[in-house]
Amino acid sequence: MELYIWLPTNLKIFKLFVENKDYILWWNSKTEKEVANFFMKNFPWEVMEVLSPQYETNFLAIRKLKSYDKDIFNKIKWIYWGSDNCEYLAPTKKEIEEAYNLFIESKKKYGIEKFIVVTPYVWEKMYNRLTEGLDFLNSLKVKQQIEIVVNDYWILDYIETNCKNLKIILGKLLHKQLKTPLVDTFWNNAHVSWEKIKNKDFWTKKELQKVIIENQNKFYNDLESTFSPFQRFIKKHNISRLTMDLLWWERKELYSNKENYDLHYPFSLIFTGRLCDTSSLEQPERWNYAIDDICPRTCERFDIFYKIKTQDYKLIQRWNSWYRIELELDRAKDFFNWKDNRLIFTPFI
């Protein structure tokens, strides 16, 4: 199994990776003192009272990946870099240039082969910032096309029209999966409408419920890319790959017979929007309001997470989005039977 790593727009984490990738990935045994010293030095805001769950998830996910292959972290092929869901984390041209230089350093030091840029959905203000960076990438003289993960139809159109040297991967925001947090609440259960069950005996009601469950299971085990209109769209726009999340219920069919897919692990995006609780930490007037000016990127210095009382339900709010923590990679084992599939490991969101 080859591994692909996704680093956020925050260049500090990219620099840490280049300086010493052990510090980010922790695949070698570390003492508690070494871990504590690392966090105190690099993430002092995380050790105030409670360590953010994304760091605990990092360690658990690494343990899981090593159970497949003890040497897996020496097989990192490519680096994905950027944000997929916050326009204010759309990188500037200067940041893209710096990230590309860091990639060149990691190529010399660790043998990383390729650099892939992840882009978010954008409004008009961030559109020009992002397109300047895309123009820079398009101008690079490289042997292989640079791949861009696209989560916005506007950006998709821009690349197709102006950046012929770039290769498109359709991101998780444009390739839909049914990911409502309520799905697992009703898994293998169904509430039949009163109009269907009134004056029916007990066994007739159970049979109706069984039919509904069979249909909803079929529906949940599907992707937008299985629909013929969407397949025509992929072909029309010459899209090379699609992105998907690891989901939290048994969906074997979802990961079988899939080729040229990126599977993200261990954070699954639930939803995103323009409201950002993180930005309101230092500017309370932003609370419950969409950001309408340049964001100070508070998220590079703070995490917000919420404790969900429902058993075994782990959600984390990061940036302007909610994620579910999903560590059970075994259910997607059929996904790795296809050589052109990629497992994208995200140490930190």
Q: How many helices (H) and strands (E) does the chain have?
A: 10, 11
Q: Give the tokens for residue 180.
A: 């409502």
Say if residues 186 and 213 touch (Cβ distance below 8 Å). no
Confidence at 170, pLDDT banded by 50, 70, 90: very high
Give the pLDDT confidence of 74-100 residue by residue, as tens digits.
888 899 999 988 888 899 999 999 999
CA neighbours closer than 13 Å in the CB half-sphere of residue 6: 23
- Packed helices 93-110 and 124-139: angle between N→C axes, nearest 10 degrees: 40
Say if residues 332 and 246 touch (Cβ distance below 8 Å). yes
Predicted pLDDT of residue 183: 52
Mean pLDDT of 267-294: 74
Closest CA to 264 of 1, 3, 78: 3
- Specify whether the backbone of 199 is left (phi greater than 0), alpha (psi in -120 to 50) or beta: left
Confidence at 217, pLDDT banded by 50, 70, 90: low
Model's pTM, two decimal places? 0.83
DSSP 8-class letter at 281? T
Give the pLDDT confidence of 30-72 residue by residue, as tens digits.
565 666 676 667 666 555 455 667 777 887 888 888 888 888 8
The β-bridge relationship of strands 321-325 and 342-345 is: unpaired
Closest CA to 278 of 295, 261, 255, 258: 295
Give the pLDDT confidence of 236-254 residue by residue, as tens digits.
998 989 998 888 766 667 7
Highest mean pLDDT among 10-24, 123-137, 282-296: 123-137
Say if residues 241 and 262 touch (Cβ distance below 8 Å). yes
Does residue 303 or residue 227 have the better pLDDT? 227
Q: What is the spatial order of strands in the sheet that 321-325 belongs to?
A: 267-272, 321-325, 315-318
